[in-house]
Structure 1
């Protein structure tokens, strides 16, 4: 891998590793935002627990995904990319926060690009 590709891969690795960890931790503190506002009411109605508990579960998944990106970027980046697509689809189906859905699709493409770069590096 060329020097530029290594640099880009490293930047993406730390971005898609650290951001999910920070967002996951924030699911427990709501310092950045009250994450429950992004919960689809229809989805929450189907769950046997409240939106805060759901966000806690989401937070644990995001922390694990971020750690996976840092340890095994080729696999972790695919997990993060898939997770972001699922979030975007959920938002699109709910018809709310479509700007966030678009942003998440763009980030999913970035995470997928990291996975491809990392796969080529192995």
Structure 2
């Protein structure tokens, strides 16, 4: 009985994480096209932005597509998608830290990366 309760709690935790990492990347990715939540260009490290052969807005739209695809992968294959989202969030955090801009956002992204990694590991045991 206790094992069943633990398995049920683990499944609920997994589903909470899974749907978070489906919805959040898709919403954030879609918002790269509308800028309703924030002006995404401001988060681009200026050094990286100067190296781009196109505008920061165009770059953010590419980022948006990647985020939407990552969210869809989590929906279909959470064990793989979790690792993708964790890597993506870590990369974003590192670029923010490199410019020492938005350190608070970088720390939050690293925490979310740990949660995505945890979800991927749980997925291997229950899916």
- Give the TM-score of the pair, scaled to structure 2: 0.94
Quote the Cα distance in structure 2 between the aligned partners of 1:102 and 1:95.
11
Residues 50-107 of structure 1, C-alpha deviation per residue, up to 9 Å, x if partnerless?
A: 1000000000000000000011000001000000000000000011000000000000
3-state SS, counterpart of residue 99 of structure 1: helix
The equivalent position to 2:114 in structure 1, one of 99, 109, 115, is 109
1:25 aligns with 2:30: yes
What is the aligned counterpart of 1:38 among 38, 43, 59? Answer: 43
User: Shift of the alpha carbon at 1:2?
Assistant: 0.2
Where does structure 2 lack aligned partners over 5 or more consecutive residues?
A: 1-5
- Show the 5 A alignment for 1:56-71: 56-71=61-76
Pick one of 55, 60, 67 that aligns with 1:55.
60
What is the number of equivalent residue pairs in this alignment? 122
Q: Distance in 2 between matches of 1:76 and 1:108?
A: 12
Gaps of 5+ in 1: none
Q: Name the residue aligned to 2:97.
A: 92
For 1:32, what is the secondary structure of its paired residue? coil
Please give the root-mean-square deviation of Cα atoms over the aligned residues, in Å: 0.8
Separation of aligned partners in 2, 1:121 and 1:94: 39
- Bigger radius of gyration: 2
Query: Which residue, 76, 80, 97 being the options, matches 1:75?
Result: 80
